[in-house]
Structure 1
Amino acid sequence: MSYSLLLFDYDGTLCDTRNAIKYSLRRTFQEFGLVEPVEPALQAVVQQGLPLAETLLALHPAGTSPLPATWVETYRRIYSAEAEPLVTPFPGAQQVLATAVARGCTVAIISNKGLAILENSLARLGLRAYAALVLGDDPMAATPLPLKPDPALFTQRIQPRFPQFTLATTLMIGDTATDLQFARNCGIAACWASYGFGHAPDCAAFKPAHRIGSLAELLPLVA
């Protein structure tokens, strides 16, 4: 089976953002005067690919004062100003996107990350030009973006933009259980990027249609 609409996750699929995420989480808790999360806890939340607010809540120490209302804003400010330069593309990211587009595929990059950070990072790394659509969490938007694994992200934002593609020709490429759950919820095939951040047993349990150990292994699947 070959696919012509490719939905790429960003964190852990196209780009290695682990160091940037962990740095920003530590600094956010520093700013709030809270004890920094320990490495095992950081690793555990990164593996899940949760929306940012859920990630911060998961790391919030039980029995301590509620986090300020600016917690998400604080994290994103730190990430953008201090941590984004730590992000690197996975080997072959640009070549794979360029080849897919050259073969006639349409590329969308979808993430639970803040849209401004996502756009800036993709542009800096030379990846933005290959995407016909980039979707991320935008607090300034009139209508909030549904976040993965909510299928409304697909039915309300992606399908109306690309009505020429069927479910059968659409492929979600992601590294975490959240990405694979999203694909299942949407009724589309999933390709598990096993080199990424996801917890292997959780991801394997979804029985994705495809599994790749590097981005280059995706090319035989594209139209």
Structure 2
Amino acid sequence: MSAPLRLVLFDVDGTLVDSQGSIVHAMTTSFQAASVPVPTREVILSIVGLSLPHAIARLVPDQTSSVQNDLVEGYKEAYHAHRLDLGAASSPLYPGAREAIEALHAVPEVLLGVATGKSQRGLDALIEVHGLERYFVTRQVADHHPSKPHPSMVQAALAETGVEPDCAVMVGDTSYDMDMAAAAGVRGIGVAWGYHDRSALTSATCMIETFDQLPTALAGIWN
């Protein structure tokens, strides 16, 4: 009897790539252009993972919708320009990320996907610059779904791949990732190197400190 299909979904920012420099730069540029006080680095990183309009609304709830929209558009422009300037260096892969992706991809019954607050344009550009085009069979982005922690992204990935929830895992660095997984009936693996303190990842099934601990974590969940 063949093994059941498995699905490993990855968050992107703070999980696969360290994009905090680009995120903070783009937020700072956008807020300065709109003459709005710039949030601290810690506050900016606390909203990473949310879809951009939700992130901006959480950062400046007292601003008008017009100002919030200006901040969203300003962020997009600044982030895109920064990515063009720096290429892959704007969002480097975390140590062990590529090796983990390649090892899982080599297992016939394991499918890989991403569920991210990034836009389609942003995700496609990142995947291309790192040469990861062939690995992810499902790519869920903010353009097509409610913001995390709504379960829509995970539900769509399950539907696209035909994988049952108990055979799927979400790997991420924020409470939004873990809460999204729980809402979709999927186990969550929290990573300790991202943008939320591990104490915030209360919905995680388990935590890993480095990517080389991922196979053991997956085995513990599935076996």
Q: Same fold (TM over 0.5)?
A: yes
Superposed structure 1 runs of 4+ greater than 6 Å apart: none
In 2, the alpha carbon distance for the partners of 1:170 and 1:57 equals 31
**1:170 maps onto 2:185 in alignment:** no
Match of 2:185 in 1: 187
Match of 1:141 in 2: none
In 2, the alpha carbon distance for the partners of 1:168 and 1:113 equals 26
Letter of the aligned partner of 2:101 in structure 1?
Answer: L
Find 2:142's aligned residue among 133, 137, 143. Answer: 137
In 1, the alpha carbon distance for the partners of 2:63 and 2:99 equals 48
Alignment coverage as a number of residue pairs = 211
- TM-score (structure 1 length as normaliser): 0.85
Q: Give how far 1:15 is off.
A: 0.6
Match of 1:16, SS state, is: coil
In 1, the alpha carbon distance for the partners of 2:134 and 2:65 equals 44
Unaligned runs of 5+ in 2: none
**1:100 maps onto 2:104 in alignment:** yes
Letter of the aligned partner of 1:209 in structure 2?
Answer: T
Match of 2:210 in 1: 214
**1:90 maps onto 2:94 in alignment:** yes
Q: Give how far 1:66 is off.
A: 5.0
Check conservation: 2:173, 2:191, Cα contact below 8 A.
yes
In 1, the alpha carbon distance for the partners of 2:61 and 2:160 equals 41
Find 1:125's aligned residue among 127, 130, 135. Answer: 130
**CA 1:159 to 1:40, structure 2 compared with 1: closer, same or farther past 3 Å?**
closer
Q: Give how far 1:34 is off.
A: 2.1
Match of 2:69, SS state, is: coil
Letter of the aligned partner of 2:215 in structure 1?
Answer: L
Letter of the aligned partner of 1:20 in structure 2?
Answer: S
- TM-score (structure 2 length as normaliser): 0.85
Match of 2:214, SS state, is: helix
Match of 2:113, SS state, is: strand
Letter of the aligned partner of 1:216 in structure 2?
Answer: D
Letter of the aligned partner of 1:88 in structure 2?
Answer: P
Check conservation: 1:20, 1:87, Cα contact below 8 A.
yes
Match of 2:10 in 1: 8
Letter of the aligned partner of 2:214 in structure 1?
Answer: L
In 1, the alpha carbon distance for the partners of 2:42 and 2:171 equals 26
Paired-residue identity, % = 24
Q: Give how far 1:3 is off.
A: 7.8
Q: Give how far 1:19 is off.
A: 0.8
Check conservation: 2:113, 2:139, Cα contact below 8 A.
yes
**CA 1:83 to 1:60, structure 2 compared with 1: closer, same or farther past 3 Å?**
farther
Match of 2:160, SS state, is: coil
Alpha-carbon deviations, 1:85-134, whole Å to 9, x = none?
32110011111111101012100011011110111011101223211121
Unaligned runs of 5+ in 1: 139-143
Check conservation: 1:76, 1:114, Cα contact below 8 A.
no
RCO comparison, higher one (Cα < 8 Å, 6+): 1
Q: Give how far 1:70 is off.
A: 3.7
Match of 1:129, SS state, is: coil
